[in-house]
Amino acid sequence: MNPPSPIIDIRGLGYSVSGRPIFANFDMQILPGRVTAIMGPSGTGKTTLLRLITGQVRALSGSIEVAGEDMRTLKRDGLYALRRRMGMLFQNGALLTDLSVFENVAFPLREHTNLPERLIRQLVLIKLQAVGLRGAADLMPAELSGGMSRRVALARAIVMDPEILIYDEPFVGLDPISMGVILRLIRRLNDTLGLTTIVVSHDVLEISSVADQVFLLSGGKVVASGTPQEMRENPTEIVRQFVGGLADGPVPFHYPAKDYYGELMARGEGL
């Protein structure tokens, strides 16, 4: 049996920000129906990769295909049509602060559909129940904890029944309980709704417990990929440093600087 064709297919991607290359000849294939984790040290372009996949920025070279659509040629209308098939969870939830929890989840429905109020109510309550926050429907975003905000944002991301669900650093700043809740939701939503899930994170242990496939990015390249088990057994130095959380290694502890002794001893200008 042939493996399923990738739902996200990136080939030869090139992208740079103000002359600094972020990706050069970058390849990545993400298969449908799976939880795919994208890990890597901070500043390796993980969030930029998400922005490229979701069409928030355009690739300078190479191709990105998402659900059969070529992101290079997609016009604004096509891009918006594609985005209706995607859900994205931002790092801080990005809830609309002037709307209640209920209205936040109802927002995409109200903007894109003409459903009767009763049906909107039912859909919103079903999604809020799925993330365990039906009781918080009347609260305002300012009254929620960090973990709750992200769960509301998750309910909002799935309210249009997307095919692809993207999480950008979903665990940052969460307590262990909230983290466990989000982890369970990632897996459960992926399996019950038949989604393709992409999680960008650097919480190695946590994400390894739910991911089917892991990509490790460093220096604008995929340096290793495989199942979490394969990643744990990978002997490459960079993988060992990242998975083991070692301070120094191929990713240096020190930001590039001038010679230490020389700089300490130098008579600095203005000193």
91 interacts with another protein by CB under 8 A = yes
232 interacts with another protein by CB under 8 A = no
Binding residue (CB under 8 A) for another protein from 107, 172, 209, 221: 107
Binding residue (CB under 8 A) for another protein from 38, 52, 88, 231: 88
86 interacts with another protein by CB under 8 A = yes
96 interacts with another protein by CB under 8 A = yes
Q: How many helices (H) and strands (E) does the chain have?
A: 10, 10
> Which two structure tokens, joined as six digits, stand for 245?
């959380």
Rg of the chain in Å (alpha carbons): 21
Check if the beta carbon of residue 8 is closer than 8 Å to that of residue 49: no
- The single residue listed with the structure tokens 């079903």 is 126
Binding residue (CB under 8 A) for another protein from 33, 108, 146, 226: 108
CB nearer to another protein: pick between 96 and 246: 96
Q: Which amino acid is at 210?
A: V
CB nearer to another protein: pick between 2 and 18: 18
90 interacts with another protein by CB under 8 A = yes
- The single residue listed with the structure tokens 């109020």 is 117
The residue range among 15-23, 94-102, 127-135, 191-199 that interacts with another protein, by the rule CB under 8 A, is 94-102
Check if the beta carbon of residue 10 is closer than 8 Å to that of residue 51: no
Check if the beta carbon of residue 156 is closer than 8 Å to that of residue 112: no
- The site for another protein, by CB under 8 A, has a size of 23
Residue among 180, 185, 186, 208 at smallest CA distance from 198: 186
Residue among 17, 16, 97, 39 at smallest CA distance from 228: 39
95 interacts with another protein by CB under 8 A = yes
> Which two structure tokens, joined as six digits, stand for 237?
């130095």
Binding residue (CB under 8 A) for another protein from 56, 113, 122, 229: 56
83 interacts with another protein by CB under 8 A = yes
57 interacts with another protein by CB under 8 A = no
Tell me whether strands 8-17 and 20-30 are parallel, antiparallel or unpaired. antiparallel
CA 224 to chain CA centroid, Å, is 18
Q: Which of residues 112-171 bind another protein (CB under 8 A)?
A: 112, 153, 156, 160
58 interacts with another protein by CB under 8 A = no
81 interacts with another protein by CB under 8 A = yes
Contact residues: another protein, CB under 8 A: 54, 56, 80-81, 83-84, 86-88, 90-92, 94-97, 107-108, 111-112, 153, 156, 160
